[in-house]
Amino acid sequence: MNRRELLTRVKEEADLDNLRQADQAVRVVVGVLKSLLPEEISNKIAEILPEDLRAGWEIVAPYPADILEREDIYFEGSEGEGEKPAPTITHG
């Protein structure tokens, strides 16, 4: 799979309007993953990716832990009674 194929698949699966939105979504996911994975594992992932995907993996910086913690706070306690919460990345 190359970068274009990945972005096209993300665009279709997430029902996004264009490849730019898909690219933004992939960058967010990669940034979150890189913040959660040990650096050694992140490097191993980069090693096995095709060249164009590896380049993308390597340029995305991990999200700082405090940002991820703040995002979790936004979802805690925000559920209304009787409402079913919308699925999120952290709360399937």
The per-residue pLDDT for range 19-64, each reduced to its tens digit, is 999 999 999 999 999 999 999 999 999 999 999 999 999 999 998 7
Listed in sequence order, the residues at least 6 apart from 8 whose beta carbon sits closer than 8 Å to its beta carbon are 19, 22
- Left, alpha or beta for 77 (phi > 0: left; psi -120 to 50: alpha)? left
0.85 exceeded by pTM: no
The per-residue pLDDT for range 53-81, each reduced to its tens digit, is 999 999 999 987 666 565 555 555 555 54
DSSP-assigned letter for residue 37: S
